[in-house]
């Protein structure tokens, strides 16, 4: 039995706004019938650390994606089969294993820090080393990078918002049914 933990207050002092739970994403449509936020227990433990580190800086984390059932990964791949930005579901995504989280930072007033581009910017502007972002935007990306890596997450060079556990393939890919999340209904 795979242990997924629901990520929600009060245990996790985060804002959850799953981008694939509404139409404002690169696909232009919701892919979750019941958008809920889950992570594998190992990733949830790292997230708890990250929440604490962000709080020390008077910041909060906003989660835009976490566990993504394999059915959802197929929907993304069928729309945009580009392995630079969307994991091939035949290999499995860290999201479909419950060990990846997409996040940004919020200030004390609940405003997103300026990262120089939105989550799911599937262009070179979404890369950690994007050319053309301001020093302040780069500093915000580095602040997020520091918080997440100090908490035990690895990062993906093409997406400033994506963090995952090291060696994610040691975790199984899960369908919605196998995970018991009811997200795809």
Distance CA(150)–CA(51), nearest Å, equals: 11
**Token digits for 45?**
């433990």
The residues, any chain, with a CB within 8 Å of residue 76's CB and separated by 6 or more, are 20, 27, 31, 68, 86
**Token digits for 21?**
């739970």
Residue 72 exposed, middle or buried by CB count within 10 Å (0-12, 13-18, 19+): buried
- To the query of whether residue 48 is one of the catalytic residues in this protein, the response is no
What does the DSSP assignment read for 58-69? Answer: T-EEEEEE----
Q: Look-up: residue for tokens 């053309």?
A: 132
CB 22, CB 60: distance < 8 Å:
no
* H helix and E strand count, the chain: 4, 7
Catalytically annotated residue among 56, 71, 112, 159? 159
Which residues are annotated as catalytic?
A: 159
């Amino acid at each position: 039995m795979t242990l997924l933990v629901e990520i929600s207050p009060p245990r996790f002092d985060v804002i959850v706004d799953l981008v694939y739970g509404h139409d404002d994403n690169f696909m232009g449509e919701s892919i979750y019938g019941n958008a809920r936020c889950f992570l594998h227990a190992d990733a949830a433990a790292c997230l708890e650390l990250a929440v604490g580190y962000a709080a020390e800086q008077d910041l909060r984390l906003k989660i835009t994606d976490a566990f993504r059932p394999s059915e959802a990964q197929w929907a993304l791949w069928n729309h945009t089969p580009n392995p630079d930005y969307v994991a091939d579901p035949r290999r499995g995504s860290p999201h479909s294993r419950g060990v990846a989280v997409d996040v940004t930072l919020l200030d004390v007033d609940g405003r997103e820090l300026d990262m120089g581009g939105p989550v799911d910017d599937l262009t070179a502007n979404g890369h950690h080393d994007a050319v053309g972002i301001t020093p302040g935007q780069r500093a915000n990306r580095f602040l997020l990078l520091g918080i997440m890596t100090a908490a035990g997450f690895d990062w993906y060079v093409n997406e400033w918002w994506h963090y995952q556990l090291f060696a994610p393939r040691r975790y199984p890919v899960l369908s919605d049914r196998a995970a018991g999340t009811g997200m795809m209904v």
